[in-house]
Amino acid sequence: ETGVTQSPTHLIKTRGQQVTLRCSSQSGHNTVSWYQQALGQGPQFIFQYYREEENGRGNFPPRFSGLQFPNYSSELNVNALELDDSALYLCAGAKADLGYTFGSGTRLTVV
Amino acid sequence: TQLLEQSPQFLSIQEGENLTVYCNSSSVFSSLQWYRQEPGEGPVLLVTVVTGGEVKKLKRLTFQFGDARKDSSLHITAAQPGDTGLYLCAGAWYNDMRFGAGTRLTVKP
């Protein structure tokens, strides 16, 4: 149990559809970051939320959006899915400078 | 291009051997972290280094942060099959952490 739970664990969607991925973080994780990890690659930063506001964004198009809620949960939404969006999506909670705690990820396959 | 370059990309060794993997950048980081990731799981934090020249030991793992805080190394002594995994370095970058592509280590019995 890492303190960060992601759902669903696996998901298959069709190109053009929309998807919402969820992350539940333990109390005190006031920062949440989302990463995309393609097969054989390191995680690529999508965006970060701090106290429910976007606090930084990587090189991802606007169809990637997110929300953070007061109960430390968050969502990643992706519109108009493309085949290249197939990847492991990781959510990470952080408290101060104590390092990131990652969830096990959601494996998204776009067909 | 990656902000952090890790080498080697792949490493396959026999149980009992020593190894070193490297993480290099042209940027200065306020801190650098090493993670280990197993298939189907998220990365797990191993260590955070903050001070240039800092050396930290975690059992058979030794982590070093370069004097200029641009690079780091991870040395494993007497590797075991349980050390198999993807080793990722990550540098603190503005409001977030940026990752290298990782070194995939396989330790054969």
- Per run of 10 residues, the mean pLDDT along chain B (length 109 residues) is 87 97 92 92 92 95 95 97 96 83 96
SS3 content of chain B, % helix, strand, coil (to 5): 5, 55, 40
Q: How far apart are CA B10 and CA B68, in angstroms?
A: 26
Q: How near does any CA of chain A get to the CA of B104, in Å?
A: 9
At residue A96, the pLDDT reads 64
Residue A1 pLDDT > 70, yes or no? Answer: no
Residue A3 pLDDT > 70, yes or no? Answer: yes
At residue A30, the pLDDT reads 81
Tell how many helices (H) and how many strands (E) occur in chain B.
Answer: 0, 11
At residue B2, the pLDDT reads 66
Distances in Å between the Cα of B66 and the Cα atoms of B8, B46, B86 are 18, 17, 22
In the structure encoding, which two tokens stand for residue B26, read together? 């042209």
Determine whether the interchain pair B42/A42 forms a contact, defined as Cβ–Cβ distance below 8 Å.
Answer: no
Measured between CA atoms, the residue of chain A closest to residue B43 is A102
At residue B1, the pLDDT reads 55
* C-alpha A13, offset from chain centre: 16
Measured between CA atoms, the residue of chain B closest to residue A41 is B101
Q: What is the mean pLDDT of residues A2-6?
A: 85
At residue B68, the pLDDT reads 93
